[in-house]
Structure 1
């Protein structure tokens, strides 16, 4: 039974991944620091499905505590593969706090890499972001594009920098690495600050929807179960392909314009949206669009969930949460 260490295990994607890996027969060690970016209660609820599983162990730790602290906490664990999802999230907030994104997304990632080097853990699945492509005009986005001058937010820069560190540790210390660039993941448990979540809650409350720009910006929305399937396939690939260093896109390869997304969320909720027009937000990109041919070739990755079905499942989950409210007050939406 291989053991996977999942950082950010209490988050949106991380909690779904823990459940998937447990179902696939892994032992899972979860790590989270319950960053106050959103309500701790939500993250604890996310973990409920895994906490009592006999093959799940949870540790509360901030990776910024360093490699030595991680070594002490995980002294009794024999880890075969690391899935590094923990990060400081959000394009917009990164514009206001760039130094914090360097500290959490780059320096803390290096601490994790140091722990792997010192303890001999060889396999790393690293969660990067479509934001590294910035306002690249060539679409769809391919993994081999030159990204030296594409990042237009500190969040994007932090993710691309962390990718560079994973290569350095692969080159110097023979870590096996899959970097995966996620494309606007949505679905049950999505963070409250993200666009689909905020739009649905506003509609349910009878409030207008803020639309930034003219509604022509587009995102490659990817349902969480499809992203998690890609991660699970990546974990299995790492365990059977020593010497790996690859970067892949995990998207849906089907961009949706903002105005069409708002209409689709309205249809899923059953409410006609009223728009509140706003200027574009700093750091936002025009489009994200994944070329997923490499992930398909390497992993057999093939997204299965169309937007209407994914939104239906999200709204069903959200209404169940509204019936037992643990949600924080509405915050500004982030779409990347």
Structure 2
């Protein structure tokens, strides 16, 4: 039976194991949001209270996005492993394609959130404490980005007339281009090949056939394992780089949330992580200045090995 180490190599396996130690699937976080009409009334009557509600909900959305992004990508990885062990090429292609799309969506949603929250930490902190002094401090860009992650979809004609722009999904290619710009090795070639198997295209036919002369055919329904092995070998570097986009933006967002006074959104396990090798975290630290995390470790905190994570130049 294959596991992540035998399939993807020790670096990727270590990265995944470290993510698993966050134990996010056991999280008991809950989220409350005020109805729009009620919020508008509160904002009119008490702007400080309105800003307090607004930023509490923004941080809640950031936490939801980060946790769901990690859990979703981790499930796709499990699906890749299961399909490989089942020697099911079509399931493997669907799962790896899903991981690519999930990673691209995570980068699109969270690529700029950690730095934006860090940059505005002081102002957000005043908003959360209700001490903005009747200032109106909002971020439509952050709000729309997080709403897009949660609600974006292909809209029906009826929905097109009323749904906000943030609810409209982009073309898949637009998300994938974010990975290409991030220099994920061969990601477009890999994705296109997987799509041909799952759409279905010619690859999903020829996986059952063989031809020695290009004219005569014979059934050859046992190519799953060899083709899966080809993908795992050809795109091993792609997979490791993909993990950085699948998890790093979410991890950085969660760690920035550790610096705000909302315990529900804290991830104490991250206090043991060395993120200094990630350029984006260096920028976040610069924006946070001397602000220390407010999260506190539990009695059974886990200290993961940071080797893969600190090599991630994202």
Q: TM-score under structure 1 normalisation?
A: 0.26
Structure 1 or 2: more strand by fraction: 1
Q: Which has the higher contact order (CA 8 A, sep 6+)?
A: 2
Structure 1 or 2: more helix by fraction: 2
Q: TM-score under structure 2 normalisation?
A: 0.27
